[in-house]
Amino acid sequence: MPYDLKELAAISGQSGLYRLVRPARHGVLVETLDAKATRSLAPASNKVSLLSEIGIYAQDSDDTLPLTDVFERIYQKYGASLPVSGKSSEAELTGFLAEVMPEYDRQRVYLSDIKKLTNWYTIVSQHLPYQPTQAEAAPATDEPLSTGGVIGEADPAATPTGNPEVTQEKAPAAKKSAKKPD
């Protein structure tokens, strides 16, 4: 997962994104996702939508692509900076989403949804570190990461059998049993 969206939320009636801090008696304590990191109470009357539970409609009527996957696609194509913003033209925004997610449902995904997507991605990419998936973090070569177990073939006549680090001269003497025979 490129960005950890589990604790991030959008709150109805409020602009921007918020980090969930903890539940409170009459709502949820949230922190703005900006440089100020202002804490406030989101009342229970407001709808709090976790970004990890939001998806974009696909052409298949029952299918949605989770926002984390859409963010991953955007990052793979554009990195942390987008070629569009929420103020771009309708053609630019729909073209952008069609490049990132060609299978999106053009009937159910509105222009306002695409604007939110670009604004949210911009906020998240500025304030959260990108975490590469395991496949991206692994080295691309077949070289071993350590020499453990990758010791080259040695001349069998040159080394004694058993532990090659222990020579015959340094071999420890056999311990005598401390137990006395009856």
pLDDT digits (tens, 9 = 90+) for 20-62: 999 888 888 999 888 788 898 988 888 989 988 999 999 987 8
Is 85 among the domain residues?
yes
Q: Is the per-residue pLDDT at 172 higher than 60?
A: no
Percent of the chain with pLDDT over 70: 69
Instruction: Give the helix/strand (H/E) hosting 93.
Output: helix 90-100
Confidence of residue 156 (pLDDT cuts 50, 70, 90): low
Is 160 among the domain residues?
no
Tokens describing residue 131: 């975490």
Q: Is the per-residue pLDDT at 97 higher than 90?
A: yes
Give pTM, 2 decimals.
0.68
Alpha-carbon distance 29 to 75, whole Å?
30
Is 161 among the domain residues?
no
CA distances from 117 to 79, 86, 102, 127, 179 (A): 15, 8, 15, 15, 78
User: Which amino acid is present at 103?
Assistant: E
Is 182 among the domain residues?
no
Q: Is the per-residue pLDDT at 72 higher than 80?
A: yes
Instruction: Give the helix/strand (H/E) hosting 22.
Output: strand 18-24
Residue 118's pLDDT is 93
Instruction: Give the helix/strand (H/E) hosting 42.
Output: strand 39-43
**Domain carrying residue 42:** 8-129
What's the whole-number mean pLDDT along residues 75-102?
Answer: 90
Is 165 among the domain residues?
no
Is 156 among the domain residues?
no
Overall domain count for the chain: 1
Alpha-carbon distance 17 to 125, whole Å?
12
